[in-house]
Structure 1
């Protein structure tokens, strides 16, 4: 057997220890950057397994007798699992599983981890893979039993597997766009090739020439680790990688993502999709898309895909307990041969946007109506004012001049009230509805209204209401209306009741004189009432911006009872 100088031998043994230290440190460092990432977890597992293997190799050559040498050789038989994790890492890094059949095999572990565990057990329990011999002047060495069919199968299996893994990372490098990702893949490719070359030297080539050394694969692992560190520092590996740049974005994006095969069976979803469809990830995968999207809508989407490769701005209502309006965009997913392989749908919840659009449209319509009414009312008032002023001009000192002057002043006050109300009404719908704390709005209204002698009792559940920012004025108007017109009011109770259909009812009840049956709807008309006639009409219009209704349901003589009905989509418990 060709002799290996003691200096070289010690250096090679030292490489095992250096490799263990480097791989352990690098694995912990990478994992700490993003513990939730599959790539980072796989890399940590790979580095820890390589650390264990390197330490086993180091202790093999420190053993002073046959028993110690045999023990550490058996303990190092887990090298097969290191190779399995290496291939798994490359598959995940490059997304290189070529077919559904192979994907299922790797998912179940039957094509990768099961053989690795089996081969490791064979190495631990038999001498079919490695045999120990004693070389005079050198000591104990282990040799691959290349004449044993099992050893040949294991050698060929892992050689072919690593060649395929190298080919996958090479293709990923070649296909990557220019820039950081291409540089990352190139460095990983070179590192993998280095490990394969040095591993092949010790595992097959050098033993054929009778040259026995500590496993040279750890030299390759050290070089691989150096390249990984360089890729991290220079090109942002594991920061800007295929996984973090694509899968991580899809996982965290605010829009729902649903990936299906050509038959409409769901393959993958992200967190936002589970929230939109009110289901878990496990509850959605393997289901048909038609089970979560109405058949008619899904049929229309599929029909669009027959003529085009993408669809956008397809709006529909999901029939949930609380209906949601969504906008769907999507496209065909092509395989590497350019053939359709599936469909990706991007679902955006636009419920609040549609509510805002509806509110704006209603507000514009009502502002237009108000302008017509205001012009008509002010025109009539100006005509009356002109008449009184004409009388005063003809007889400024007449006996009734004071009365006409008083009437003129009253008309001017009414005109000012119309203009003030128009200004406030114009603000309805001009701002986007927002979530507001119901308790906070009521508290501000109570604090801003003098109510000496009137007990205001508030017993409501802590919720938020999606409404026009002017909604606080509604609370104020209802309280003021009770105190001003209730005559005998001593107590006002504000409570909430949740209905079976999800509607939240907000009640304002007093113990005053109440409202007569024939006035229950009239009090919400513009100009009707004992004061300005604008308060309740104004309140109804503010609430209607987000489809919140208000009505008077009390009994005359027992007190007024204003009932505000908030639909399910317009109220929620605070997050």
Structure 2
């Protein structure tokens, strides 16, 4: 109902169950009981007002819970002093036994507001053990037994509650109450000395002063008056009303509980996709956000206290810091990091970052440290590299195909002239057939040029390997040739035209594989790389031609398919070789480097717009990595 030392013991001349007041408090009862009611309404309204300022703030949430608890406690006190019977008074005494939890929540609010280390989320278990568990035990005793307080009748005053100081539990409750009050006061004092800005110092000063009001009135009501034999409504609620008035003043005058840059900064750092690191001038990391830990591939809790040179390559870090010391700031400084993983499952990831930083000065003092902002630009660099390669390849192919088409047109014109010369003679089937073949080759070259012009048009991105293979196989009629697919659910970072690379490899096997019966497509992890294999049981490729077949113009048809396949894959750093055994079949091995593949983020089969593996002669399976 109130703090643990709120009432004195009966005097030796008092009759059993009756206490005689040393003074007549009747004149104060209406005023003090009214304070309980007024305090209940004020604390409730103030709690919701502060909560509405920032509902996501843990401080505001604790303040609301504390104020609602204070409201409940004040209402219970008010109704206790209105009780007209012993049973009614006992009911409200037990109903108000939640007061230890109110004190616990208020203390928790003070610890959170003052940024006391004990209030951190990582310390929740200790906070529950040291604060809420004892408070809950005291509340349970107050509800279920009379070990702490009892109801007696006082002549001229009515029913009052007194503490049972002879109980062995009572001293423990008194010690707990005193300890948490001292704890809250020390936390306020430490926060005031630790405050770096005048505004923060004023906030702590006002909240500390406000909390002293209920503490001071509680001491008067719980210690001084009971030992003097005076039993009146709890004065702590006068202190709570003054507490509410002080907090209201702090809100209106100095912006307490209102969103400010200082208040919003932790949330900004938490939601930023860029890494933010604060480094002391001696190179030690003071703090870092979660994005920085993700970019550097380390645990966020392990960063504070480490040297920045441990996570940033030494030569680049030394140069970067030298520029900052000389110029005061540095921006867009690119560094390549070696991290264990970027969190997406890709091992030994080489992350390219852009760093910017500036010196941090205390007012009128020398530099205190450096604020470093780190942005992961790995995808951007990959895309730039892919576009550069694509541009070079397009330029080369445009020249080559233009030359080939000109030669074919010249040849076609010659045969057409020959046909013109023999127009009045029996038709020459050989001339006509050759002319048709030349026109078909021109058409194939034009289609190839059209496909190649799209290379680099779209930025490379993550694509499901299953989807690429399914699209390629569904575009080809394999006839009696059996196709087996055994690949894991992975994604590769490649050009959107990569499906044509798979198509060309499969089409090449069908047209050049002698006595072909089976084509197999499989994939598996090889060290840090992903190896994709497309093999058949045809005649294979002689050793002397294994590299030659990827050159432009080599082949029995257009000579463009395998060259185009290699070009597409090279855009994103993927390589392809042929390492089959001549006479046993061709074997194309596609090697996807670390950083260009990852486990699939979601299952692609059955998604709207995704092709299903289908077609006669195809067998599908998964081979989890």
The answer, yes or no, to whether TM exceeds 0.5 is yes
Residue matched to 1:273: 292
What are the Cα deviations for residues 79-110 of structure 1, in whole angstroms up to 9, with x where unaligned? 98777656545545xxxxxxxxxx8899999x
In 1, Cα distance between equivalents of 2:419 and 2:199: 95
On the 8 A contact 1:19/1:221 being kept in 2, the answer is no
Residue matched to 1:384: 411
SS in 2 for 1:568: coil
Residue matched to 2:361: 334
What TM-score, normalized by structure 1, do the two folds share? 0.73
Q: 1:39 to 1:392 in 2, by over 3 A?
A: same
Residue matched to 1:412: 439
SS in 1 for 2:359: strand
Query: Is 1:528 aligned with 2:570?
Result: no
On the 8 A contact 2:277/2:292 being kept in 1, the answer is yes
SS in 2 for 1:318: strand
Q: 1:509 to 1:141 in 2, by over 3 A?
A: closer
On the 8 A contact 1:56/1:75 being kept in 2, the answer is no
Give 2:504's match in structure 1, choosing from 470, 474, 477.
477
Q: 1:61 to 1:311 in 2, by over 3 A?
A: farther
Structure 1 stretches lacking a partner, 5+ long: 93-102, 125-134, 143-150, 176-184
Cα distance, 1:286 vs structure 2: 1.1
Query: Is 1:220 aligned with 2:242?
Result: yes
Cα distance, 1:413 vs structure 2: 2.5
Cα distance, 1:456 vs structure 2: 0.7
Give 1:249's match in structure 2, choosing from 268, 273, 280.
268
Query: Is 1:7 aligned with 2:30?
Result: yes
Q: Greater relative contact order (Cα 8 A, min sep 6): structure 1 or 2?
A: 2
Residue matched to 2:566: 540
Residue matched to 2:319: 300
Shifted more, 40-49 versus 348-357: the winner is 40-49
Give 1:351's match in structure 2, choosing from 359, 378, 381.
378
Give 2:529's match in structure 1, choosing from 492, 503, 508.
503
Residue matched to 1:574: 600
Residue matched to 1:422: 449
On the 8 A contact 1:43/1:89 being kept in 2, the answer is no
Q: 1:393 to 1:340 in 2, by over 3 A?
A: same
In 2, Cα distance between equivalents of 1:522 and 1:169: 71
Q: 1:168 to 1:567 in 2, by over 3 A?
A: closer
Cα distance, 1:282 vs structure 2: 1.6
Cα distance, 1:382 vs structure 2: 3.0
Give 2:388's match in structure 1, choosing from 338, 361, 371.
361
SS in 2 for 1:474: helix
Q: 1:76 to 1:473 in 2, by over 3 A?
A: closer
On the 8 A contact 1:20/1:52 being kept in 2, the answer is no
What are the Cα deviations for residues 473-524 of structure 1, in whole angstroms up to 9, with x where unaligned? 1121111111221121111111112112x10100011111111112211211
On the 8 A contact 1:433/1:469 being kept in 2, the answer is yes
Cα distance, 1:395 vs structure 2: 5.3
In 1, Cα distance between equivalents of 2:584 and 2:97: 92
Query: Is 1:551 aligned with 2:577?
Result: yes
What are the Cα deviations for residues 11-41 of structure 1, in whole angstroms up to 9, with x where unaligned? 11223444665577778x669943xx54345
In 1, Cα distance between equivalents of 2:318 and 2:58: 35
In 2, Cα distance between equivalents of 1:164 and 1:563: 64
In 1, Cα distance between equivalents of 2:596 and 2:99: 64
In 1, Cα distance between equivalents of 2:277 and 2:426: 85
Query: Is 1:370 aligned with 2:391?
Result: no
Task: Calculate the aligned-residue CA RMSD, in Å.
Answer: 5.0
On the 8 A contact 2:360/2:371 being kept in 1, the answer is yes
Cα distance, 1:528 vs structure 2: 1.2
On the 8 A contact 2:210/2:247 being kept in 1, the answer is no
In 2, Cα distance between equivalents of 1:530 and 1:400: 28
Structure 2 stretches lacking a partner, 5+ long: 1-22, 139-153, 163-177, 340-347, 602-625
Q: Which structure: greater helix fraction?
A: 1
In 2, Cα distance between equivalents of 1:460 and 1:164: 59
Residue matched to 1:43: 63
Give 2:539's match in structure 1, choosing from 507, 513, 531.
513
In 1, Cα distance between equivalents of 2:458 and 2:418: 46
In 2, Cα distance between equivalents of 1:258 and 1:493: 50
Q: 1:77 to 1:465 in 2, by over 3 A?
A: closer
What are the Cα deviations for residues 242-294 of structure 1, in whole angstroms up to 9, with x where unaligned? 46632112112111222222222122222222211221112222111111001
On the 8 A contact 1:429/1:468 being kept in 2, the answer is yes
Residue matched to 1:561: 587
What TM-score, normalized by structure 2, do the two folds share? 0.68
Residue matched to 1:445: 472
In 2, Cα distance between equivalents of 1:538 and 1:222: 76
SS in 2 for 1:537: helix
Cα distance, 1:422 vs structure 2: 0.9
Residue matched to 1:99: none
Residue matched to 2:463: 436
